[in-house]
Amino acid sequence: MNEHVVRLEGAGRSFGASTALTGVDLTIRAGERVAVLGASGAGKSTLLALLNGSLQPSEGSVELFGAATAGLPARTRRGLQRRVGTVSQGLDLIEQVRVLHNVNAGRLAEWGTPRALASLVWPHPDERALGALEAVGLGWAVHERTERLSGGERQRVAIARLLIQRPDLVLADEPVASLDPTRAAEVLGLLGRATDSRGTLVVTLHQPQLARDHCTRAIGLREGRLVFDTPIADLASHLLDELYARA
């Protein structure tokens, strides 16, 4: 349980003259479920992009599974990224294809190109794909076109894609922003299942209560800086008041 999944030292990222994140020191160990809290524009998505290696830090260092993400050969970096499953705000689903194809996209790294292409021509839902869809309550939708599903159902397709990938680290950027409270709790429960006991979850949230119900630790970002890092039991309301207070 003590393996460092993520380690940031003085990490930050600027875009031109604008600083999205700066001076972040953060270590996340296997099995932790970390809620990232902060007002809009605080740097939450930028932090997740540094964590999955899709953005490089412009200051400090970011290590994933013990290897710095900067300066790695592309192949090694892809190898690390295979261990990371991301649900982005836009979900990154291909709308025009069947649900099955979007779920199987979670296996592309495992399959390689020839098998992935074959599966596009001869879609065959095997037990793993069906199991992942049934786990999110969408067994019936395996052959539906993705664009015909509701927003909440599409969100669950993205989670089935994670379940099939079996990543060691799940990063979810506001996965429940557009959902009602019951669905939100359900989706966070599913994300918990995508990260089994050896897995690790980092999730950005706007509702602190969901963090209390589903996470083991909370970090707060304000104007690009880490302003608290606390076990979930110690997430006091004054920390939240300061986090969301207007400057």
Ligand X SMILES: Nc1ncnc2c1ncn2[C@@H]1O[C@H](COP(=O)(O)OP(=O)(O)OP(=O)(O)O)[C@@H](O)[C@H]1O
67 near 25, Cβ under 8 Å? no
Name the segment binding ligand X (CB under 6 A); options: 38-46, 65-73, 128-136, 137-145.
Answer: 38-46
**Residue 18 and residue 43: Cα distance in Å, rounded?**
11
Least Å from the CB of residue 41 to ligand X? 4
Least Å from the CB of residue 179 to ligand X? 16
**Which residue, 42 or 149, is less far from ligand X as judged by CB?**
42
**Which residue, 47 or 132, is less far from ligand X as judged by CB?**
47
Least Å from the CB of residue 176 to ligand X? 13
In the list 38, 85, 175, 199, the residue contacting ligand X (rule: CB under 6 A) is 38
Count of residues touching ligand X (by CB under 6 A): 11
Name the segment binding ligand X (CB under 6 A); options: 14-22, 99-107, 157-165, 189-197.
Answer: 14-22
Number of Cβ within 10 Å of residue 3's Cβ equals 12
Contacts of 198 by beta carbon, 8 Å cutoff, 6+ apart: 30, 31, 168
Least Å from the CB of residue 242 to ligand X? 16
The answer to whether 18 contacts ligand X (rule: CB under 6 A) is: yes
Least Å from the CB of residue 231 to ligand X? 22
**H/E segment holding residue 72:** none
Phi, psi of 12, deg, nearest 5? -160, 170
In the list 5, 6, 8, 20, the residue contacting ligand X (rule: CB under 6 A) is 20
Residue 21, strand partner residues: 13
**Which residue, 15 or 140, is less far from ligand X as judged by CB?**
15
CA angle 1, 89, 211 (to 5 degrees): 45
Pair of tokens at residue 204: 């950005």
**Residue 210 and residue 224: Cα distance in Å, rounded?**
22
**Which residue, 108 or 240, is less far from ligand X as judged by CB?**
240
Least Å from the CB of residue 42 to ligand X? 4
- Order of strands across the sheet that contains 84-87: 84-87, 169-173, 200-204, 33-37, 217-222, 225-231
DSSP 70: T
60 near 9, Cβ under 8 Å? yes
By Cβ distance, which residue is nearest to ligand X?
Answer: 20
In the list 15, 148, 230, 234, the residue contacting ligand X (rule: CB under 6 A) is 15
**What track of x and - describes contact with ligand X for positions 39 through 78 (by CB under 6 A)?**
-xxxxxxx--------------------------------
Residues at the contact surface with ligand X, assessed by CB under 6 A: 15, 18, 20, 38, 40-46
